[in-house]
Structure 1
Amino acid sequence: MKKMAGLGLALTMTTSLSAQQNSLALTDEFVNKNINNAVAQYKTLMTRVPDGVLPRTFDKANDSLATAKSNSWISGFYPGTLLYLYEYSKDADLLKEAEKRLQLLEKEKDNKGTHDLGFMLYCSFGNALRLTGNTHYRDVLLTGAESLASRFNSTVGCIRSWDHNSDSWKFPVIIDNMMNLEFLNWASRVSGNPKYADISKIHANTTLKNHFRPDNSSYHVIDYDPETGAVRHKHTHQGAHHESAWARGQAWGLYGYTMMYRDTHDKAYLNQARKIAAFILDQPNLPEDGIPYWDYSVSGPDVPRDASAAAITASALLELSGMVRGKERKRYLKAAEHMLTSLSSATYKAPIGTNGGFLLMHSTGHFPANSEIDVPLSYADYYYVEALIRYKHLLGH
């Protein structure tokens, strides 16, 4: 099949292959085994997903899937994972299922009520365009990018994240929003319109200025005054407390600034990614297996882990390792390999046919809300598979 040039997406690596291969500890056999297992497991999941919805997590007690509609922020991860697995396996059934779910998602291109269109559309339609060359997917994406750009406030210098809880926030911006900037960068490259990339850079710069503490950990939510652009509050909605470091939030920041350096070559973004990586890897509360607790300020045998944070972090570190040299590159590779090894162990990866068809166990969605604690999550699977495929590219395949 034709592959579209200029998509960028998450597989881009920026280092010489031979230099990376000299430092690699995992084998082709390891990667192939785990991706093949993922293909088999997702063919199990495919049989369980009802029409008209997307899988979110699995309720073990009731042996039932929890699903979401197309307007959920997680809606793009299931088709995106299917497409990554199709890229590896060339199994037409995976592509067919992904395209079936894309039909549900297409209407979200007009959704101006969410900042999550990068997750929803770029992880799904972006991969579909890259792998099939279907220009209809390009049109869907460009319409979606315009919808996302409509949420930008030039006074604040950010894309608004949430429209809810107006009694608490006036213009909330969450660190997760860094992940949606890749979509805008792509839209500028493809359309030739610099507007989208300009918005992306302004948002990244504003976030860099206001989201990070002196130790390079990130707040989850910064609330701005939309009339003046002033910071009103610095909060952590999904973390342990306002000054804690929510684990998945740190992963979003690491991934986001690594991607922004790839797309812009602005050294400020590379420097920030390196600082975030150091914060994570130097964590005294990071468990020996490299899979973080749901927040870096908490620890203990009964504290839930977040495999999704580890998967996102591992994928980001693999890309970041290609942007640096020497001991720093080796450190990032070693950490990513350690996380992938742990995630691929029986402790975190479910046996085929179990776990409702999801790959990873032991993720945490929203602990303070007592929501999705110690469960599989669709986005954990997506970034785990992405990390495996990125590693396979480093191996030269």
Structure 2
Amino acid sequence: MGYSPLARVLATAVCGIVTTLPLVGTAMAATADKPAAELVRDTFAAAAERYGTLLAKVQRQPGFPRTVENGEVRLVDVKDWTAGFFPGSLWYLYEATGDARWRAAAIDYTARTAPAKFDKTQHDLGFMLGAGYGNGYRLTGDPAYRDALLAGATTLVTRFNPKVGSIQSWDLWKNSTWTFPVIVDNMMNLELLTWASRAANEPHYRDIAIAHADTTLKNHFRPDHSSYHLVDYDPQSGAVRGRITVQGNADASAWARGQAWGLYGYTMMYRETRKDEYLRQAHRIAAFIMNHPRLPADKVPYWDFDDPAIPDAPRDSSAAAITSSALLELARFADKGLAQRYRAFAEAQLRSLASPAYLAGPGENGDFLLKHATGHKPAGKEIDVPLNYGDYYFLEALLRLKAAQGGADAGG
């Protein structure tokens, strides 16, 4: 059983712009040859130190730490799609250390996300509830957490359109021409539905998750297995109206975090359904990322694989964190040779992220963990900053690496 927040809960109850960062030298030497178990242990120790300071700064304020803006920690309210990642990281720190202070803090911040379970205005309830309530239920078995997750799943399915076969991602923006926008990120919210289907013995949730994954598989991917960011549908006929980007470099470019969401999403959906087409797609996306000619030597991608400014383009450490976590799970479903490649690639990414080139030291980075993430470059927002979801998937990947090194089942 693994570290994805909802994958194990049933069983548990009865988871400046950087351009040319060095692969070797002082920055990487600290992690290059360290045994994996020691790497995980030391990185969690550093994470506990950073987050202890961060928690002390924000705990008495309303909101959730998302990033650093103008040198200060930026807090967001419960309606922000990233609200659940900070409580999720606290649960991972508790899981890794057994320290009761992290459990107490995680309980506190998870409770603060409670309004999200009834929020019908967005699709991100899997992020907002799964990271906090999902991990909380997995680690404590608290039935109130189960109830919150089921409420969130019931809310999420109200955004499903059977003619499109998808869950609508965003409500229609002012001045946009979209009629039913679906972004590749939405794959990440399907785990809430597959979990709810088992927890409530209600096939409807699973059927919607499969329909959405099938529609995305059909319409979001190019012949090279990279993904468009957004597909717009006609809500009456289900026909595709357009394929565009919002957060990537161009409509036809490969936005790095979008590729990571797709990899993680189809790996998770294979675990949840055992549908072979999902596994094949996960392998294809993995090959696209791992073999890309513009992937830097340290395996932390530029924010978009097709940014013409490469190599003078921002990195996205959050995309590397998501990718490494996904590959460690995908390795469970691969033959021996491919599994070894996936684990080696993921471990190399984690060694880069755990090096001083990316992992913040004391007093740096607003006391978040990972430096050099990119949130929304086209909008000029969150460029070369920490991001709470980068930290969350980094900690998840470290736990998965620890489980894999120990011979445990590290994915679901």
**Shorter-normalised TM-score: what interval?**
over 0.9
* 8 Å CA contact 1:109, 1:141 repeated in 2: yes
Once residues 119 and 4 of structure 1 are traced to their aligned partners in structure 2, the CA distance between those partners, rounded to angstroms, is 16
Hey, what does 1:16 align to over in structure 2? none
Hey, what does 2:110 align to over in structure 1? 102
Hey, what does 1:253 align to over in structure 2? 262
Indicate whether 1:269 and 2:278 are aligned: yes
Q: CA deviation at 1:300?
A: 2.8
From 39, 45, 64, the counterpart of 1:30: 39
The equivalences for 1:1-397 within 5 A come to 4-6=9-11, 10=15, 26-49=35-58, 50-59=60-69, 62-165=70-173, 167-298=176-307, 299-396=309-406
Q: CA deviation at 1:36?
A: 1.4
- Aligned in 2, Cα 1:105/1:368: closer, same or farther, shift over 3 Å? same
Q: Which moves more between the two structures, 344-353 or 24-33?
A: 24-33
Structure 2: stretches of 5+ with no match in the other structure: 1-7, 16-32
Amino acid at match of 1:64: E
Once residues 170 and 55 of structure 2 are traced to their aligned partners in structure 1, the CA distance between those partners, rounded to angstroms, is 31
Q: CA deviation at 1:51?
A: 2.2
Once residues 4 and 216 of structure 1 are traced to their aligned partners in structure 2, the CA distance between those partners, rounded to angstroms, is 32
* 8 Å CA contact 2:12, 2:141 repeated in 1: no
1:322 partner SS: helix
Once residues 191 and 385 of structure 1 are traced to their aligned partners in structure 2, the CA distance between those partners, rounded to angstroms, is 29
Q: CA deviation at 1:4?
A: 4.5
Q: CA deviation at 1:365?
A: 0.2
Once residues 257 and 30 of structure 1 are traced to their aligned partners in structure 2, the CA distance between those partners, rounded to angstroms, is 28
The one-character-per-residue Cα deviations of 1:82-137 (angstroms, maximum 9, x if unpaired) are: 00110111111111111111222101111111100000001110001111111011
Amino acid at match of 1:268: E
Once residues 261 and 26 of structure 1 are traced to their aligned partners in structure 2, the CA distance between those partners, rounded to angstroms, is 31
- Aligned in 2, Cα 1:69/1:283: closer, same or farther, shift over 3 Å? same
Amino acid at match of 2:351: T
Amino acid at match of 2:99: D
Once residues 40 and 147 of structure 1 are traced to their aligned partners in structure 2, the CA distance between those partners, rounded to angstroms, is 37
* 8 Å CA contact 1:118, 1:180 repeated in 2: yes
Once residues 403 and 324 of structure 2 are traced to their aligned partners in structure 1, the CA distance between those partners, rounded to angstroms, is 14
RMSD: 1.6
* 8 Å CA contact 2:184, 2:262 repeated in 1: yes
- Aligned in 2, Cα 1:26/1:317: closer, same or farther, shift over 3 Å? farther
Identical aligned residues as a percent: 52
Q: CA deviation at 1:355?
A: 1.3
Structure 1: stretches of 5+ with no match in the other structure: 11-23
Q: TM-score, normalised by structure 1?
A: 0.93
Once residues 241 and 102 of structure 2 are traced to their aligned partners in structure 1, the CA distance between those partners, rounded to angstroms, is 46
* 8 Å CA contact 1:105, 1:121 repeated in 2: yes
Q: Which moves more between the two structures, 86-95 or 299-308?
A: 299-308
Q: CA deviation at 1:5?
A: 3.0
* 8 Å CA contact 2:374, 2:384 repeated in 1: yes
1:66 partner SS: strand
- Aligned in 2, Cα 1:4/1:365: closer, same or farther, shift over 3 Å? closer
Q: CA deviation at 1:39?
A: 1.3
* 8 Å CA contact 2:9, 2:134 repeated in 1: no
The one-character-per-residue Cα deviations of 1:26-61 (angstroms, maximum 9, x if unpaired) are: 5211111111111111111101115220001013xx
* 8 Å CA contact 1:7, 1:186 repeated in 2: no
* 8 Å CA contact 1:6, 1:189 repeated in 2: no
Q: TM-score, normalised by structure 2?
A: 0.89
* 8 Å CA contact 2:332, 2:339 repeated in 1: yes
Q: CA deviation at 1:389?
A: 0.4
Once residues 153 and 285 of structure 1 are traced to their aligned partners in structure 2, the CA distance between those partners, rounded to angstroms, is 38
* 8 Å CA contact 1:73, 1:116 repeated in 2: yes
Alignment: residue pair count: 379
* 8 Å CA contact 2:85, 2:388 repeated in 1: yes
Once residues 244 and 326 of structure 1 are traced to their aligned partners in structure 2, the CA distance between those partners, rounded to angstroms, is 32
Q: Which moves more between the two structures, 75-84 or 26-35?
A: 26-35
Q: CA deviation at 1:394?
A: 1.1
Once residues 228 and 44 of structure 2 are traced to their aligned partners in structure 1, the CA distance between those partners, rounded to angstroms, is 34
- Aligned in 2, Cα 1:206/1:256: closer, same or farther, shift over 3 Å? same
Once residues 9 and 276 of structure 2 are traced to their aligned partners in structure 1, the CA distance between those partners, rounded to angstroms, is 28
- Aligned in 2, Cα 1:153/1:26: closer, same or farther, shift over 3 Å? farther
Q: CA deviation at 1:25?
A: 9.0
Hey, what does 2:19 align to over in structure 1? none
1:5 partner SS: helix
Once residues 343 and 382 of structure 2 are traced to their aligned partners in structure 1, the CA distance between those partners, rounded to angstroms, is 30
The one-character-per-residue Cα deviations of 1:322-352 (angstroms, maximum 9, x if unpaired) are: 1101321121111101100100111000013
